[in-house]
């Protein structure tokens, strides 16, 4: 693993780094105005990288870059970082060395930070809130114009009839211009706020779905398990995503024999497992590509299984991410929750099964799930 202490500034960053395996270490000053910093980090692809920096609030582009490359970014509490340092004259080089030392000694005061997607959602809510405030100020000015002309309608001023009466008021030229401009602003705000409100409602629904996933993961459902034909359950799951498959013109290839031994399973969980893997594949699947699902008998030593194989021709998984895909909350997607495959792993283990994954970037991914019978 390559560990980097980063003293971040808006225009540049000073870094101290060490390779934990070889012991190689060094320091660099990376400029932000050119592509020097981005080129440096892109040149580290293929390595496991951890970067530690103080919370600054001005490095969104840098955080997006590290997330895109799959590197770990640890954000530290500035006050605790300073408190852990021996007092002496501050320099960028010493600050970077200090951050690296805290990382190496496992003393780095890491803080929780929302994901990029969560922070962008915060911008949506904040933007709508600010526009509503501006709209209220415009409405107050229009009310003042109406009151000065002896028209007292309060909330009724914004009804269709009230608006018509207000627009018909005879005003002096510049007062009329003011009314015209304020009404145009009001109409613009109304349209934007309506769109933003719809977006907030949609995001709230997605958060509701996320809470459901969290509850499902934290409190596994205790349904009865009965001998079931896996082919029937897989077909039931696929029927639920027919529309999603059609949108991407996915070529579905099935080999689901009905004469395989029945497996002791919870049918709802097997449907959920199939859905999670197929939907995960769909997110990175180009138009017209294939998803192949098959069931067959398999052995691991003396143990006998029904093997469920799902192969897609999607973007594949980077080698450095493959070992982490079943971790809770691990995701490389901007809007991912990091729970879909974690739930798959839990379901497989709860059924006494085993799951293997093989993936090649730009070629595709294969999941092999063995259920004992």
Q: Give the side-chain half-sphere CA count within 13 A for 229.
A: 9
pLDDT, one tens digit per residue, over 35-73 is 899 999 999 988 899 999 999 878 889 998 998 898 999
As assigned by CATH, the class of the 2-104 domain is: alpha beta
The pair of three-digit structure tokens given for residue 354, joined into one six-digit string: 């085993």
Contact (Cβ atoms closer than 8 angstroms) between residue 241 and residue 278: yes
Helix (H) or strand (E) holding 204: helix 173-218
Q: How many residues belong to the chain?
A: 373
58 Cβ contact list (under 8 Å, min separation 6): 8, 10
pLDDT, one tens digit per residue, over 295-326 is 999 988 888 999 999 999 998 988 888 888 88
CA–chain centroid gap for 307, Å, is: 31
- Calculate what percentage of the chain has a pLDDT beyond 90: 63
CATH 3.30.420.140 intervals, the chain: 2-104
Band the pLDDT of 212: cuts 50, 70, 90.
low
Q: What is the pLDDT of residue 300?
A: 85
**Closest among 72, 110, 65, 60 to 324, alpha carbons compared:** 72
- Kindly report the three-state secondary structure assignment for every residue of 236-297: HHHHHCHHHHHHCCCEEEEECCCCCCCEEECHHHHHHHHHHHHHHHHHCCCCCCEEEEEEEE
**Closest among 34, 33, 74, 29 to 51, alpha carbons compared:** 74
Phi, psi of 17 (to 5 degrees): -140, 160
The pair of three-digit structure tokens given for residue 210, joined into one six-digit string: 């996320």
State yes or no: pLDDT of 185 exceeds 80.
yes
Contact (Cβ atoms closer than 8 angstroms) between residue 316 and residue 364: yes
The pair of three-digit structure tokens given for residue 126, joined into one six-digit string: 């904040």
Helix (H) or strand (E) holding 52: strand 49-54
CATH 3.30.565.10 intervals, the chain: 226-372
- Give the other-Cβ count within 10 Å of 95's Cβ: 22
Longest dimension (CA), the chain: 95
Q: Please give the CATH architecture assigned to the domain spanning 226-372.
A: 2-Layer Sandwich (3.30)
pLDDT, one tens digit per residue, over 137-168 is 999 999 999 999 999 999 999 999 999 999 99
DSSP 110: B
Highest mean pLDDT among 181-190, 282-291, 299-308: 181-190
Cα 244 from Cα 45, distance rounded (Å)? 33
Contact (Cβ atoms closer than 8 angstroms) between residue 265 and residue 348: no
Average pLDDT over residues 333-358: 84
Band the pLDDT of 118: cuts 50, 70, 90.
confident
Provide the mean pLDDT of the chain.
Answer: 89
CA–chain centroid gap for 317, Å, is: 16
pLDDT, one tens digit per residue, over 5-39 is 999 999 999 999 999 989 999 999 999 988 899 99
- Calculate what percentage of the chain has a pLDDT beyond 70: 93
Task: Report the DSSP beta bridge partners of residue 52.
Answer: 5, 74
Sign of the four-CA dihedral 46, 334, 251, 287: negative
Helix (H) or strand (E) holding 24: none
DSSP 25: E
- Give the other-Cβ count within 10 Å of 254's Cβ: 13
């Amino acid at each position: 693993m390559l560990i980097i202490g980063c003293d971040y500034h808006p225009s540049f960053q000073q870094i101290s780094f060490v390779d934990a395996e070889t012991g190689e270490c060094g320091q660099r000053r990376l400029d932000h105005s050119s592509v020097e910093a981005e080129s440096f980090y892109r040149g580290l692809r293929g390595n496991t990288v951890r970067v530690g920096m103080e919370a600054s609030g001005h490095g969104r582009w840098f955080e997006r870059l590290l997330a895109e490359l799959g590197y770990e970014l640890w954000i530290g509490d500035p006050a605790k970082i300073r408190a852990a340092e021996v007092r002496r004259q501050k320099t960028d080089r010493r600050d970077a060395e200090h951050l690296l030392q805290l990382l190496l000694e496992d003393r780095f005061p890491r803080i929780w930070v929302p994901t990029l997607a969560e922070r962008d959602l915060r911008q949506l809510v904040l933007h709508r809130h600010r526009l509503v405030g501006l709209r209220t100020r415009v409405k107050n000015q229009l009310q003042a114009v109406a009151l000065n002309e002896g028209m007292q309608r309060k909330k009724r001023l914004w009804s269709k009839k009230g608006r018509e009466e207000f627009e018909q008021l005879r005003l002096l030229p510049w007062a009329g211009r003011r009314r015209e401009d304020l009404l145009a602003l009001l109409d613009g705000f109304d349209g934007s706020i309506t769109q933003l409100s719809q977006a907030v409602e949609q995001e709230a629904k997605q958060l509701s779905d996320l809470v459901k996933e969290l509850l499902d993961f934290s409190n596994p459902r205790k349904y009865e398990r009965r001998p079931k034909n896996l082919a029937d359950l897989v077909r039931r799951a696929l029927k639920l995503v027919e529309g999603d498959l059609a949108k991407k013109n996915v070529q579905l290839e099935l080999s689901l024999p009905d004469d395989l031994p029945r497996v002791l399973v919870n049918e709802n969980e097997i449907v959920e497992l199939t859905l999670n893997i197929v939907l995960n594949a769909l997110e990175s699947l180009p138009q017209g590509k294939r998803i192949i699902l098959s069931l067959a008998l398999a052995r691991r030593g003396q143990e006998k299984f029904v093997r469920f194989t799902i192969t897609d021709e999607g973007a594949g998984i980077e080698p450095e991410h493959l070992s982490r895909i079943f971790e809770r909350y691990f995701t490389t997607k901007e809007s991912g929750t990091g729970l879909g495959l974690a739930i798959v792993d839990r379901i497989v283990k709860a059924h006494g099964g085993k799951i293997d994954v093989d993936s090649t970037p730009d070629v595709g991914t294969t999941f092999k799930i063995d259920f004992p019978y």
